[in-house]
Amino acid sequence: MVTLKLNGKEIQATEGMTVLQAAQNAGVTIPTLCDHPDLEAYGGCRLCVVDIKGWRTPMASCTMPVSEGMDVNTHSPEIEKSRKTILQMLMSDYYDDGYANGQKQETQLMHWVNHYGLDVKTSMSNKPRYQVNSDANPFVWVDLNKCIQCTRCVRACADIQGRFVWNMAERGINTHPVPGIDTDMLDARCESCGACVAYCPTGALDNKMSMGAGVPDKVVLTTCAYCGVGCQLELNVKDNKIIRVTSTEKAPVNGNHLCVKGRYGYDFVHHAERLVKPQVRRYLLEGKKKETNGSAWDWVETDWDTALNITSQKLLKIKNEFGADTIGVLTSAKCLNEENYLMNKFARQVIGTNNIDHCARL
């Protein structure tokens, strides 16, 4: 442990921590855009600069390690003026003609722009520099007019997903992220996991399925239904309809990481053909023989007890007449590991067959 002063108050921090981490542990909020606890420190946006006694210039707190006896001031008038100037410079190359209409969620950049009292319309560039929706990826919306070159998309793709799709191209004011060697995302081996979207602090990368959907009425924390890993995610709900899925650092298994199915495969919830009750053929409910035409072949909604009783009776009849190996069991990737384990026991010990398979093929 090292002892240092933070805004005149003596605190202790673990050796190897940065000033930003020490301040966060002490309950002091330092503005930042390029930094994220999941990613390697970058020190690019300079919004997190602090005054350190004995240093000639303000230093980036996200890359500055703590040291014994260090004296740090995080919110001096000079530092606050410097942060506002940095935001003004970032906004001078930013363009979003639709933000101020109240139909968009506040991004991390806009949070600090509003905090420091900048007017969005007068601060941002008067015209776009890049094509909007510039990539053919079916899930990720790309609008580089909102990019501030924080490289969080680059680091998230490399550090979290391990795909290395994004890189930075050009120099100076023309610096911007590009997929691969300036190709499109899918050609650069993108898996459409949406990690770059989740870590983008400005909305330069967003979800195509959610564009124009507005701000959610509520956010519901739930568990993904697609496999047995147990990833947690947030359902953004508006008018009782899911308008987007966001990841959260509160998730103990996956944190901010999700796969393409967890982040973008939610449209089945409201699909018109989704079955919400069990259905059986009419002739089974009426105890008649199998027919291939007429109303007896229609699907009829019923309760679970009835459906399960019919299923168990049919399985028992087939096993007794033709043997256990004439039955196969197909389990689901949407089940928990424990549920798939029970299906395995059901197939091998109850039915008495090794004919069991799984639908996970992604």
List the chain pLDDT tens, one digit each, 362 residues. 999 999 999 999 999 999 999 999 999 999 999 999 999 999 999 999 999 999 999 999 999 999 999 999 999 999 999 999 999 999 999 999 776 445 578 899 999 999 999 999 899 999 999 999 999 999 999 999 999 999 999 999 999 999 999 999 999 999 999 999 999 999 999 999 999 999 999 999 999 999 989 999 999 999 998 877 889 999 999 999 999 999 999 999 999 999 999 999 999 999 999 998 999 999 898 888 776 667 888 899 999 999 999 999 999 999 999 999 999 999 987 777 888 899 999 999 999 999 999 876 65
Residue 179 pairs with which residues in a beta bridge?
Answer: 166
What residue type is assigned to position 135 of the chain? Answer: D
Domain parsing of the chain, residue ranges: 2-89, 125-215, 216-268, 279-358
The encoded tokens of residue 83 equal 């942060």
8 A C-beta contact, residue 238 and residue 215: yes
**Residue 351 burial by Cβ neighbours in a 10 Å radius (0-12, 13-18, 19+):** buried
149-186 CB burial, b ≥16 within 10 A, e <16: bbbbbbbbbbebbebebbbeeeeeeeebbbbbeeeebb
Question: What span, in angstroms and rounded, lies between the C-alpha atoms of 129 and 112?
Answer: 23
Structure-token pair, residue 297: 């072949």
Q: Under 8 Å CB-to-CB from 21, ≥6 apart: which residues?
A: 13
Q: Whats the size of the chain, residue-wise?
A: 362
Quick check: helix, strand or coil at residue 249? coil
Residue 159 · residue 40 · CB < 8 Å: yes
CATH 1.20.1260.10 fits 216-268, yes or no: no
Whether the pTM exceeds 0.75: the reply is: yes
Rounded Cα–Cα distance for residues 324 and 346 (Å): 12
**Class of the CATH-defined domain 125-215:** alpha beta
CA atoms of 324 and 316, how far apart (whole Å): 9
CATH 3.10.20.740, applies to 2-89? yes
CA-based Rg of the chain, rounded to a whole angstrom?
A: 28
Task: Give the pair of three-digit tokens for residue 328.
Answer: 């196969």
**Cβ-count burial 239-271 (b if 16+ within 10 Å, e if not):** eeebbbbbbeeebeebbbbbbbbbbbbbeeeee
Instruction: Determine the Cα–Cα distance for residues 31 and 349; give it in Å rounded to an integer.
Output: 59
